[in-house]
A and B are shown apart, each in its own frame.
Chain A
Amino acid sequence: MLNVENLTVYRGGRLVLDGISFALRPGEVTAVLGLNGAGKTTLLKAILGFLPRQGGALTADGESLDRLSPADRAKQLAYVPQRYDGGFRYRAEDFVSMGATAYLGAFSRPGEGELRRAEALLRGLDCGHLIGRPMDQLSGGEQRMAYLARAMMQDAGCLLLDEPVSSLDLSRQHLFLHRLGRYVEERRAGCLAAVHAPELAYTYAPRIMILHQGRILLDLRRGEPGFEERLAQGLRAVYGPGLRAEFRDGLLALGWEYES
């Protein structure tokens, strides 16, 4: 499992992450909430090694991530970026089978077996109809599902997702997060997902972290005493005192009160 200790990152001379520490647990989705620019993306990219860090230690299963080869890192961390940005055209099953890259030799390519497995993963997500279709012609929601299938193909110890549902319509947001949660639980994988909507985090993430001004303001598990009250307090601290939060039947409803 991923362990982050005292992670510190500067970007353009500005301190963006100020000594972040946490550890992921197997089978548990952790949602990271925070304002735009709070450092959610920076956190994910620094863990993945895309950004230089100025301090801190990253380990997976006790081994330093810095010392792993690219292929071994890929077996520890799978990544779902914010948006699909393929420069060329790939069929969906082709795209999913790229998740097997880390398990192939430097000169090999996925064979029939990998392709069949990619197709099976897509069917398992009720996305069998995507097989044979080019990625750039899929809807945003369909592309997300292909990413999830690819992450499952990669079979990494932890999944890191950067706002995976922000651009989707309501039903697809729920569908994606539901499938993600089920996979993480079955695979006993760690999962860190930057999420914009507190309601979705409350419903689908057993653990919620709030990132604020470069630090972890709050790190809560569902079922802890005072969970909902503390979550509401944390949200008000970040979004403003006007925020109203109501918890009912396992749902979080948010509203806003203006001072007249």
Chain B
Amino acid sequence: MELSYPMLNKTIIYSKIHLPNCRLSGLIFFCLLSLSAPLYAVQITLNVADVAAPSFTARGIKVVLAQEGSAEFSIDELHMAEKIWRKVHIYCTEFLLNSAHVTCHKGKLDVIPDLPFTFSYEFSSQQLELQFTANANELWQVSADFRAKPWRATALLRNAQSKRLTDLLPSNGALPKQGTLNGTLVIHGDKAGVSKINADLQLADLAATDASGLHAAEKLSGKLHINADRAGQKWNWRGALDWQGGELFWQPLYLRGGHTLQASGQWDGAQLQVTQAVVNLPEVGKIELNALWDIKKSNLLEGHLVGENLSLANGFANYAKPFMEQSILSATALKGRADVDWQYRNGTTQVLLLQLHDVAVEDGEKRFALHGLNADIPWHAQLQNVAHVAFTDGELMGLPLGATQWQIQMRGMDFTLPTATLPLLDGKLEVSDFHIHNVNNMWQWSFSSTLTSISMQKLSAALHWPEMYGSLSGFIPKMSYLNKLLKVDGTLLFRVFDGTVLANNLELFDPFGRAPRLSGNLDMRELDLDLLTRTFSFGNIQGRIDLGVNNLELVNWLPVRFDAKLASSPGKYRKKISQKAVENISSLGGAGGIAALQRSFLRIFENFGYDRIGLSCMLQNDICTMGGVENNGNVYTIVKGGGIPAITVIGYNRKVHWSELLNRLKRVSQDNKAVIK
């Protein structure tokens, strides 16, 4: 239907307008709302209820055609690409609609007023031209030929501001704030829709962030190339990404430019198949992978990743450690190279082949270290296999470890080391039945071991203790670890200071934590006082003692409570105590301890005889309740004299603050600043 107003020289077509793949539906009507007199000032308003297309709907469309040739379009609600715009307003300075074409010159969209556009569409040739231009040589141009077989549309971008895409992207994702796009996007299609896509885009100075800042990019630059062809219901695609510069924070990863990706695969709308991909990680190496991704569930169905000769220094620091902030490896640095082959299927890792080449592992808090680590770990979820692990040296809690080779039997998440030798200082730890397995996502392990003779001199030097003499050896019946708790089942036996140390009920909670907590009982028998006092520069005492420490609890290796009793061992042996030792013991008993001594007596003799030595301390709430061989009210006997010349040392004030007692011990260990007055 056509209306003509010769006086106005206007032609207005208001019948159906056919747009490719678009259907004008619902109620279309027009109202000549204002053909107000005089007739030369005519203004025509058209109202269209809605326009619908497969991925496009517009409701409440109003078109106002003015006499001078301009047109205003307002749309109450526009749905496109799963986005909604409300109250969209378009103004064309020059609008022309006739049977041949529709054009809009010097058009403006109110949402992008700084980006004027021109639009034209030829009905017969079905050719469309849309061009947005702005200052700074910015151009967004779309040319389409819908009559061609297949139809073709080309988008040309020149200095296109990426922030203009904000409204088209999901609002909860990272949205572009600045940066430009250059390049072309070519789309071919047929009656079934888009059949081919070619994109060549270059990003420059791109900045984007989400609301929380946990996913953000700055100064990103790079090139993206994508080719995709539809074959039936599937798309075959091939792409290349060259991330040339800028930085990216994608919680918890922080990455810099230099990455490249080349990939190809299929996409069927439900699943994305990466049949082949090569990723180049800067300063790490090249990784090849393929994967099958469930798009709707955001779920990896299958994956296979292979990397050879990867640098672990940057590989671990940049791509693995950020996920381990809560673990013991949060302060760990790795060096060396690795080969990795990882296969994932059915919701779990099926195969992990890992080879380590001359790797160094160092904990930033100096709790552990391994050097010269080489390993071949062929792990299969369903197969039994053997891993070979060797290192040249290492360190554990300050103790140096020697060269070691292990053969670990692997069966799923169950690892066993039947026997192993771990050189420790000048001795070795013989480990047997080491067993580690994962239950309910928690690792637990256990082993038994024998410690062959370690020099106490070397041990004390390694641990920065006072120099000790003698040797340490022992047997650990079973040690187990579960849920941060390290437990010793049975009794731990050590030989030290020519005596025996039995430890039982030993438990260490959170051994690598900020405040590890040790509890247990110690029973030391027949320690050689001569060796012991020599170690601590205590003055010489000859004889043997038994020391029992019950209900011991150390937090961060400092005592919180214990019930300790020291007493001369039963039996016959030489009992002598030097003047210096008497002075030191006296100072331990407090200033009043010396009251029982006679200064002149001390000056004459270097050594004294004694019958028994006894000292106890029950530590609770920072107070040590002290006792001796004999207790009498607030007075207790530490050394009971015997022989000639004999000496008796008395202690006073049985309640001593732990810090005061530590000060006394410190004074003694600092070579006897305690003065006998």
Do A and B actually bind?
A: no
Footprint of B on A, CB under 8 Å? none
Footprint of A on B, CB under 8 Å? none
